[in-house]
Amino acid sequence: MRLSLRNKLIAVCFSTMLFTGLAIVFVIVIGGVPERAATAALGTGLAISLFEEFYVQGRPGRWLRAMHPAKSIALYSLLIVVFAMTMMMANKTLLGRFHGAPVASELAHTMPPLLIILPLLFVVAIAAIMTLRVVGYLGARNLFYLMIGKYHRPVLERRIFLFLDIKGSTALVERLGPIEARALIGKFFFDVSGPITDLGGEIYRFTGDGLVAVWGWRQGVVRNRIARAIDAIGDAVDREADYYRSKFGHVPDYRIGVHGGPIVTCEEGDTRRAIGFYGDTIHIAARLEQKAKELGIDCALSGNVAELQTGLGDRLRVIGDEPVRGMAEPIKVCELRRAKHGGPTATPSR
């Protein structure tokens, strides 16, 4: 099962159980019958969770994610209310038939409380969506780690970092102007973030005209995920090439540097907390992105990451030991070329 699919299913199960539990508590508080509410809450929670994970956060939901937050929240809240009301009506209908009561009578008995439930449901929907968006901004994994204090004290780990930088961004700003250039860069980030997270990576930070992604060591090296993510980034940009040309007159090009190794991971900040990384590994990854520029290549991988990517044929070329600014010893550098049409692509290795 794909990592992204497994993570989505786990999120669906967790969200459904959480929604059902909160709904039952709410019904008990207002004096309702929890047994009857449980089935409606379960169906509503499942429908909303599936919609969020497989539509809103998927490629079909790009239009909703790209919408202004206020409009997006209002529209999404209305959809949640529709989901909830549909499940409530279906639940009442099924229970009425099960207990032998007339369906019309069962539905009529439901209508008076709706005047109370609907406004509350809309408020709850807005709160739920805003919570989802906050989790999305922070990253679900990072938020969980902050809550349980995993990195309250520094932890030494092995991770892989990918630095990506848009080529010619200064000239791009001069040609398009700051607003249009920012719109192009924002769309580029929007397009390439999905392929990274789908293959087990996290967006650590955006850096003006670039980004930094990070994988746990095992998550990054298993099944060629680093090479597959790099291929998927290129595919995502290629799919949107016509839009870039028509909207901005330019398809963004980029350079990538990748390195992995030991890193210190810890919490940082006080009133605004985050998880930070410290050590040579992240600096070497950044230097490799610059080394790619010096060497005139699009993607530079350090030797310790490249040797674990298999089945790439002549796409993976060893350049040799290269001096890296700030490091006493040279670093083995390899070039990963874009897959040609009909050529070998990065496939999951067993």
What's the CA gap between 156 and 221, in Å, rounded? 18
What's the CA gap between 86 and 210, in Å, rounded? 44
What's the CA gap between 331 and 202, in Å, rounded? 25
Q: What angle do CA 208, 290, 241 make, to 5 degrees?
A: 60
Strand ranges in 229-330 using DSSP code E only, listed in sequence order:
254-268, 274-278, 299-302, 316-322
What pTM did the predictor assign? Answer: 0.78
CATH number of 149-336: 3.30.70.1230
Residue with tokens 């807005």: 126
Residue 9: partners with Cβ closer than 8 Å, 6 or more residues away: none
What pLDDT tens digit does each residue of the chain (350 aa) get? Answer: 455 677 677 777 877 887 778 777 777 776 666 766 677 778 777 888 888 878 887 778 878 877 887 888 888 888 878 877 787 777 767 765 555 555 555 555 554 466 666 777 777 777 777 777 676 666 667 777 877 888 889 999 999 999 999 999 999 999 999 999 999 999 999 899 889 988 989 999 998 899 999 999 998 888 899 999 999 999 999 999 999 999 999 999 999 999 999 999 998 887 777 888 999 999 999 999 999 999 999 999 999 999 988 888 889 999 998 887 777 788 899 999 987 644 455 666 54
| Tokens found for residue 19 | 């929604």
Q: How far is CA 122 from CA 116, 118, 129, 267, 299, in A?
A: 11, 6, 11, 36, 48
Looking at this protein, which amino acid is placed at residue 22?
A: L
Residue 285 φ/ψ, nearest 5 degrees: -60, -40
b/e 17-33 (16+ beta carbons within 10 angstroms → b): eebbeebbebbeeeeee
Residue 304 and residue 261 in contact, taking contact as beta carbons nearer than 8 Å: yes
Looking at this protein, which amino acid is placed at residue 258?
A: V
| Tokens found for residue 78 | 């209305």
Residue with tokens 């996290």: 202
Phi-psi region of 330 (alpha: psi -120 to 50; beta: other; left: phi over 0): beta
Domain segments of the chain: what residues? 3-138, 149-336
**Inter-helix orientation angle 178-198/3-29, to 10°:** 90
Residue 267 φ/ψ, nearest 5 degrees: -75, 150
Strand 254-268 and strand 210-216: the pairing is unpaired
